[in-house]
Every structure is written in structure tokens, then in C-alpha cells.
């Protein structure tokens, strides 16, 4: 009991993931700045931002639905915390076996942050926030389809295993899935879906700062905004690690380079693409990405 509590709050769960996420967030900002020939912020900048936001006043709009407005960031943070623990533990702790079907639970938990962003934005009663929420709904509908189809690939290739630790063991015996044809296609699809799940450019239409002024977060301030930022930061750790676990034989503290490669891929996609309109994003995910995911599933069924 105490060990589970420790796992959830301190070591692989909330605190550790948040710290790794803040470091990743700094790498993101620094690399972005270097790409744009700037100097970039110092290493403590993401942490200072979170601390500063949490000492500021929380403003609640008069027309907001208060309970939902306050609850939605907390639900998102707890979902990501739980997902981070479920992803970390099978990788770093060999005694932890997880439970059968935990990858399905993780997929649901990783959908929750987007859902609570929609809920919070709708609760704030701002027209721009509701515009952002409608875009976020379309984006969730768009990227979840290829994400879940391409998640079937590791399950098919491991002959129906639904437990994260067993998938890692299977890959340790038979080689990572990413080095097969179907695996690499599904992995590429997953990388684009991850970009959209993180809400980064080019798929950040729901919080487009230059057109709808931070969109879904427009009415949030102080601690609640800090919690949303922290959720985003932690997702930046959990999602790449989840992908590595599914396709790339898992990780331990020696194979941190896998995570760094994925992080740099995210940052490069982010810095070399303009923001797409929401209809372009939906067409991209339901068109090319879904076709590629279905192709990967067919190839996996044939054994490639």
C-alpha cells in the first residue's frame, strides 16, 4: 500500500515525471530558440513559470460554471499522473507485472487531458474558449482513430498480448517491433498523433495564440493555468515513453537516448511546420494517417 502510494506520488509518478517533464520543456524551448538563432531561456525557466503562476491570483469569470472550472485541471493532472505510473513501472521495475489490459487503460487515461481541456473551456463561458473547445473536439476525433488503429499493430505482432510488461518481454526475445515494416509505419503514425495529443505546432489550432488568444486556456489564470501547464509538461514525458514501450523494446535509465531522439523529433516537427487549419488537420488524420495505419495493421496480420 505504502509502496504504491510512493510510486504514485514520488518516484515514477507525479514528482519524478514532472521534473523530467520540466527538463524536457526546457530542452524544447532552448532548442526552439537555437533554431531561431536566439539564446533561449535559462534551465530553471519552466520551473519558475510554474511557481510564478501558482502564486498569482485565480480569476473566475462571472458566467463560469465554478465546479467544472476548478475540477477539470485537477482531473487532467490526476489522469496523467496515473498514466505515468502505469507506463514507468513495467519498464524500470522488473517485479512489477501490471495487469492484463493495462495498455487500454493507459489509452483512456491519455485521452482524459484533452477531454478536460474541452470541459474547462466550455465551463469558462468565453466565446473564444468555446471556439477553441470545438476545435479541440474535432482534433480529438481526428487523431484518436489512427492512434488506436496503429496501437493494434504491437498487439497483433505479439499474438494478442495486452499487458505492457509482456509486450516488453516479447520484444526482448523477438526484437523490437519498430524494425519491422508494419512496425515502422505504425510508429510514424503514432509520432504524428503524439504531436497532436501534445497540442504542439502544427496541430495547435485549439490554442492558437495569434488568432484566438490561447483559445481553450483563455480564462484560466494562476494555479489552475499552472496545473494545465504541468499536465502538458508531464504528457511530454508519458507519451514518448509509451511509444517507446510499445514499439521500441521499452527503456531503462541507460537507454535514455531513445527518449531524446523522440523529443528532438517532436521539436523539429514543431519548428519546421506552420499551423494547419482544423479542416486540414482532420483531412490529414482521417486520410493519409488512417490509410497508413490500416496498411500497417494489414501488413502485421500478414506477418511483415
Site string for other proteins, 150-189 (x = CB under 8 A): ----------------------------------------
Positions in 190-209 near other proteins (CB under 8 A): 209
In whole angstroms, the minimum distance from the beta carbon of 70 to other proteins comes to 15
Q: How many residues bind other proteins (CB under 8 A)?
A: 32
The piece of 83-91, 107-115, 213-221, 262-270 that touches other proteins (CB under 8 A) is 213-221
DSSP assignment of 190-220 equals HHHHHHHHHT-TTS-GGG-HHHHTTGGGTT-
Q: In the range 59-88, which residues lie near other proteins by CB under 8 A?
A: 59
φ, ψ dihedrals at 184, nearest 5°: -70, -35
Stretch that binds other proteins, among 18-26, 51-59, 231-239, 262-270 (CB under 8 A): 51-59
Shortest Cβ distance from residue 221 to other proteins (Å)? Answer: 4
The single residue among 11, 16, 41, 295 that binds other proteins, judged by CB under 8 A, is: 41
Cβ 192 to other proteins, closest distance in Å? 25
CB-based contact 180:302 (threshold 8 Å): no
Nearer to other proteins, 59 or 273 (CB): 59
Of 91-99, 154-162, 210-218, 264-272, which part binds other proteins (CB under 8 A)? 210-218
Q: Which of 42, 127, 274, 303 binds other proteins (CB under 8 A)?
A: 42
Q: How far is CA 177 from CA 96, 156, 168, 169, 209, in A?
A: 22, 11, 10, 12, 38
Exposed, middle or buried by CB within 10 Å (0-12, 13-18, 19+), for 23? middle
Helix (H, G, I), strand (E, B) or coil at 235: helix
Q: How far is CA 277 from CA 135, 204, 216, 241, in A?
A: 10, 9, 16, 28
Nearer to other proteins, 59 or 174 (CB): 59
**What contacts 89, CB < 8 A, 6 or more positions away?**
7, 12, 96, 98
Asked whether the beta carbons of 90 and 165 are under 8 A apart, the reply is: yes
Q: Does residue 225 bind other proteins (CB under 8 A)?
A: yes
Shortest distance in whole angstroms from residue 132 CB to other proteins: 11
* 57 binding other proteins? (CB under 8 A): yes
Residue 205 to residue 276: CA distance in whole angstroms = 7
Q: How far is Cα 241 from Cα 80, in angstroms, rounded to an integer?
A: 13
Q: CA angle at residue 274 from 272 to 275, to 5 degrees?
A: 135
Element (H, E) at 75: helix 66-92
The least distance separating other proteins from the CB of residue 72, rounded to whole angstroms, comes to 16
- Determine which residue in the list 3, 37, 95, 253 makes contact with other proteins, applying CB under 8 A: 37
Yes or no: say if 269 and 159 are a contact pair by the CB < 8 Å rule. no
Q: Are 171 and 249 in contact (CB under 8 A)?
A: yes
- Piece in contact with other proteins (CB under 8 A), picked from 46-54, 63-71, 115-123, 288-296: 46-54
The CB-of-35 to other proteins minimum distance in angstroms stands at 11
User: According to the binding rule CB under 8 A, does residue 115 interact with other proteins?
Assistant: no
Enumerate binding residues for other proteins (CB under 8 A). Answer: 29, 33, 36-42, 44-45, 48-49, 51-52, 55-59, 209-210, 212-214, 217-222, 225
Amino acid at each position: 500500500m505504502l509502496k504504491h502510494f510512493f510510486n504514485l506520488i514520488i518516484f515514477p509518478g507525479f514528482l519524478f515525471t514532472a521534473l523530467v517533464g520540466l527538463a524536457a520543456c526546457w530542452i524544447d524551448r532552448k532548442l526552439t530558440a537555437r533554431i531561431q538563432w536566439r539564446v533561449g531561456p535559462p534551465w530553471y525557466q519552466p520551473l519558475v513559470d510554474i511557481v510564478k503562476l501558482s502564486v498569482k491570483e485565480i480569476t473566475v469569470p462571472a458566467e463560469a460554471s465554478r465546479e467544472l472550472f476548478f475540477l477539470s485541471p485537477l482531473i487532467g493532472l490526476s489522469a496523467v499522473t496515473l498514466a505515468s505510473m502505469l507506463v514507468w513501472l513495467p519498464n524500470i521495475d522488473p517485479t512489477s507485472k501490471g495487469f492484463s489490459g493495462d495498455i487500454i487503460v493507459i489509452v483512456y487515461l491519455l485521452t482524459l487531458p484533452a477531454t478536460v481541456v474541452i470541459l474547462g473551456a466550455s465551463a469558462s463561458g468565453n466565446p473564444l474558449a468555446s471556439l477553441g473547445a470545438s476545435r479541440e473536439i474535432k482534433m480529438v476525433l481526428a487523431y484518436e482513430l489512427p492512434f488506436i488503429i496503429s496501437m493494434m499493430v504491437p498487439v497483433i505482432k505479439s499474438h494478442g498480448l495486452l499487458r505492457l510488461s509482456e509486450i516488453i518481454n516479447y520484444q526482448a526475445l523477438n526484437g523490437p517491433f519498430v524494425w519491422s515494416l508494419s512496425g515502422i509505419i505504425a510508429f510514424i503514425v503514432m509520432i504524428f498523433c503524439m504531436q497532436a495529443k501534445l497540442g504542439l505546432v502544427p496541430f495547435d489550432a485549439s490554442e492558437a495564440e495569434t488568432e484566438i488568444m490561447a483559445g481553450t486556456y483563455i480564462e484560466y489564470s494562476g494555479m489552475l493555468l499552472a496545473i494545465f501547464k504541468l499536465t502538458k509538461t508531464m504528457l511530454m514525458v508519458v507519451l514518448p515513453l509509451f511509444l517507446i514501450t510499445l514499439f521500441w523494446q521499452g527503456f531503462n535509465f541507460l537507454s535514455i537516448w531513445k527518449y531524446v531522439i523522440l523529443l528532438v523529433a517532436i521539436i523539429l516537427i514543431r519548428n519546421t511546420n506552420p499551423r494547419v487549419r482544423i479542416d486540414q488537420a482532420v483531412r490529414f488524420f482521417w486520410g493519409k494517417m488512417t490509410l497508413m495505419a490500416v496498411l500497417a495493421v494489414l501488413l502485421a496480420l500478414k506477418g511483415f
